[in-house]
Amino acid sequence: MGPAERLLRSRGTLAVRGAMTMPSSDARLFDVLYTCRAMRRLKPDPVPEETLLQLVDAALHAPSGSNAQNWRFVIVRDRAQKERMRDLWRKTWNFYLDTVAVAEARPGEDLAARNRMLAAATWQLDNFLDIPAIVCVCVERDELMTKVMASPSTLVKLVSHFGIGGAVRLARSMGRTSGIADGATAYPAVQNLLLAARALGLGAVLTTQHFFVPGEFEKVLGLPSTATLAAIVPVGWPTGKFGPTTRPDARSVTSWDRYGT
């Protein structure tokens, strides 16, 4: 038992969490962070159900907006479901290949690296049915927040706190803000899942193919209208090796006190 698990046991947290126990790994945090590559080429070997649940359990320890903890996960292993997803995936990937993939390079982008990514992602599509598990990360609507924001009394309080101009600006940006709020809950959980997979030797990759076909992946998964599909994460044992990721120098993307300074 590691120190973190001992601490949880001392506080009674593990008992509350039920049957799930903390996965064991000798991997060090920064080793995991700096070698958490997007792994698209995965072996067909099955991943135990308990291990997949440990990934979800790790995701559940992420922060969420207003601490609502309103995550939902759909893990796809059924071949027929994979076939339905693959058909949609092929449609969206072909669109990507015809557009973004052939666009001019971004500032500082390595086109050779882009081409390697494209080859790996195409391999993933060609072998989609052999992916052991596909974890779909969703955010359930926060009914309390929805009810509060729709209340007439809230409009009065918006004006009293922010003025008429501030209330109007908030109303105009509500759609964008709502999307960011869902992402602020979903993607920390996704990152926890990716890091947990890396620590356990599993390959995984964050994908958002569903953005190109709104509602279609959701229909396959049977999601209710109250749930937003945020990410689709294929998971399996990698065919390649983990290694360092290439990122810009921190100084090149950092401003102090004001943007651009």
How much is the pLDDT for 78? 98
- The β-bridge partners of 76 are 134
- The β-bridge partners of 233 are 135
**Cα distance between residue 147 and residue 181, in whole Å:** 16
**Cα distance between residue 261 and residue 257, in whole Å:** 7
How much is the pLDDT for 12? 42
Residues 6+ apart with CB under 8 A from 20: 53, 54, 57
Nearest to 87 by CA among 233, 217, 238: 217
Q: Are 194 and 233 in contact (CB under 8 A)?
A: yes
How much is the pLDDT for 23? 81
Each residue's pLDDT, cut to its tens digit, for the chain (261 residues) gives: 555 555 444 434 443 445 678 888 888 999 999 999 999 999 999 999 999 999 999 999 999 999 999 999 999 999 999 999 999 999 999 999 999 999 999 998 999 999 999 999 999 999 999 999 999 999 999 888 888 888 889 888 888 898 989 888 888 877 777 778 889 999 999 999 999 999 999 999 999 999 999 999 999 999 999 999 999 999 999 999 999 999 999 999 999 999 998
Q: Are 65 and 140 in contact (CB under 8 A)?
A: no
**Which domains are assigned to the chain?**
28-104+111-145+182-237 (3.40.109.10)
Both structure tokens of 222: 């049977």
- The β-bridge partners of 232 are 136, 207
